[in-house]
Structure 1
Amino acid sequence: MRIRRRLSAAALAVGLVWLAGCAPEASDSGPQVVVTTNILGDVVQHVAGDEATVTTLMRPNADPHAFEISAQEAALLENADLIVSNGLGLEEGLQQHLDRAIAARAPSFVAGDHIDVLDYASADAGGAPDPHFWTDPARMIDVVDALEASLGAVPGVDAAAVGANAAAYRDELAGLDREMTASFERIPPQRRALVTNHHVFGYLADRFGFRIIGAIVPGGTTLASPSAADLRELTGAIEEAGVPTIFAESSQPDRLVRVLADEAGVQVDVVELFTESLTAPGEGADSYLSMMRANTERISTGLAP
């Protein structure tokens, strides 16, 4: 079997540079908004604009299920004018700090509370809610709608300015949705089958008519490990579906993906996607919009005839 690797060296680099607005200390002036994940951090920055200082806790190329924060960053949470989190069980390593800050009456916006939630397709997840809603730009519009109101209510924030920022960003999200629809139309329905190393595409599949063949890591967390039986079952599903490409996430090592490709015994590509974290600037996915456009192009190229 031959595996053609399409992983860029830049995307594999572990960046130590934080995104703009990700400094560990917040300014003393103006409203302070602290965001857990860097995907939401980028969205919040667009909507807040100059109306608040936005601090993002999760560094580029990190795993949102596993990243942790310092005591100094935990203090930022408790003193924030608004905490923005993903919710739905995503921030597993951070949840205790979020719970403590909310118990201390820090204002909180949980993005997962404002979308039509899907459960994981995997039976291993036990019907748990899927937190990866950002793979559907239409649901991100719902998040922006709700975020506009929460940011506009923060003392010291100009609600009209936030409203204008939100309207402009909604237009960009609507354009992204149209681009993704047009690109995925290049893929015949029978080839819209996704295999990755973690269950992250449920919302994309729901929005754009894909089938989830399976994921190498069972359940809904990157912290689990597949058994030999899991890999054999997924190998059989890949062979039956004739999947030409397996997708690996940029925030995780792709060793298991390559092992599965070897086990499948067929010619299959391994293509890297940016799914759970933005990258540092210059590494291919330093904004939500650029991440989604890069993924759309790679999925379309990997699955189209």
Structure 2
Amino acid sequence: MRRATGFAAVAAIVATAGLLTGCAPSIAADRPLVVVTTNILGDVVGELVGDEAEVLVLMPPGADPHSFEISAQTAARLRDAELIVANGIGLEEGLAGHVESAEADGVPVFLAGDHLEVLAYAEGDAEGTPDPHFWTDPARMVDVVTALGEELPAELADSDSASVDVDRIAANTEAYLAELDELDREMTATFTAIPEARRALVTNHHVFGYLADRFGFRIIGAVIPSGTTLAAPSASDLRELVAAIDEAGVPTIFAESSQSDRLVQVLAEGADRDVDVVELVTESLTPPGGDAETYLDMMRVNTARIATGLST
């Protein structure tokens, strides 16, 4: 009875995510502007363009992309961009209207989802709808970077700003693709070493569908049974997930750095066995100096933590 009461109370806690306001930094007038919605894509775009363009990333480190919003002043800056780069699969709920409005005004928009094989959620409230968390599979990020390597030079070369060295962007793209290939090999080797029976994931919400598809993991469930952090679990959802955790013998539940781990901790305490809680960086990079200030860092940190958490 105590466990049921606890789940009901905890289910009511699920936060309505606080709104963050983006601030637009000053942009150098002699360079074209590229606006990027998420900081993960922002890091990647920055690697490709180097000093050839200013990159305005709307979401700061640690932001929750599902709930993030921007000020009217920042939204107005989108009209100054030579290109807007967005996820395009329903991730940035609070920014979609601004991107669509800028596109209607003639600003070119690159949607990552148009350049990869999109998976649907396999379970939960969002089952059957497109999953936007493609970056957990480095092979799909390769597809996006390859397309960006063609789009960025084309759009920036046509700008009214100072001349853009498209050869430099091409070289940066080639170098970054090589890094992604190396990342993919590292992840493959690490995850292959985990016994197949232990490749079972429980996370805060459904964020690892692409990683599971690429590397042979089973998704046992998520604390928030949805593809967005804006949803809320019921007490029965939590009880069912605890039962699934016990049945699968899951040793570790993975929380997310951009979300409170309170629900995850309560879930672990509700299991009939010792279950650890390990934090992953999934939807937003960490501030400079953190463990995951770049996309490559994030993937390597998560790979190591998943492997350790499931191998113990």
TM-score (norm 1): 0.91
1:85 aligns with 2:86: yes
1:178 is matched with 185
Q: Tell me how large the CA RMSD over aligned residues is.
A: 1.4
1:299 aligns with 2:300: no
**1:207-222 equivalences in 2 (<5 Å):** 207-222=214-229
Whose Rg is larger? 2
1:4 is matched with none
TM-score (norm 2): 0.89
Deviations 1:60-83 (CA, angstroms, capped at 9, x unpaired): 101011111111210111221000
1:277 aligns with 2:284: yes
Choose from 248, 251, 258 the match for 2:255. Answer: 248
Measured after TM superposition, the shift of residue 158 of structure 1 is 2.7
1:107 is matched with 108
1:151 is matched with 152
Contact 1:35 1:85 in 2 (8 A): yes
1:128 aligns with 2:129: yes
2:293 is matched with 286
Deviations 1:137-174 (CA, angstroms, capped at 9, x unpaired): 11000000000111010224332221111000000000
1:235 aligns with 2:242: yes
Deviations 1:265-291 (CA, angstroms, capped at 9, x unpaired): 210100000000001011211000001
Measured after TM superposition, the shift of residue 49 of structure 1 is 1.2
Deviations 1:16-42 (CA, angstroms, capped at 9, x unpaired): 9x9xxx853322222110000000000
Contact 1:61 1:279 in 2 (8 A): yes
Contact 1:194 1:210 in 2 (8 A): yes
1:201 aligns with 2:202: no
1:10 is matched with none
Measured after TM superposition, the shift of residue 96 of structure 1 is 1.3
Measured after TM superposition, the shift of residue 228 of structure 1 is 0.7
AA aligned to 2:210 is: Y
Tell me, what secondary structure is at the counterpart of 2:224?
coil
1:12 is matched with none
2:56 is matched with 55
Q: How many Å separate the matches in 2 of 1:126 and 1:190?
A: 24
Structure 1, unmatched stretches of 5+, are 1-15
2:34 is matched with 33
1:7 is matched with none
Q: How many Å separate the matches in 2 of 1:101 and 1:83?
A: 9
Contact 1:151 1:157 in 2 (8 A): no
Q: How many Å separate the matches in 2 of 1:228 and 1:258?
A: 15
Tell me, what secondary structure is at the counterpart of 2:205?
coil
AA aligned to 1:287 is: T
Contact 2:24 2:74 in 1 (8 A): no
2:17 is matched with none
Q: How many Å separate the matches in 1 of 2:223 and 2:57?
A: 30
Contact 1:152 1:162 in 2 (8 A): yes
Deviations 1:47-69 (CA, angstroms, capped at 9, x unpaired): 11121111101011010111111
2:233 is matched with 226
Contact 1:247 1:271 in 2 (8 A): yes
Q: How many Å separate the matches in 1 of 2:85 and 2:193?
A: 36
Q: How many correspondences in the alignment?
A: 286
1:72 is matched with 73
Deviations 1:64-109 (CA, angstroms, capped at 9, x unpaired): 1111111121011122100000110000011111111111111110
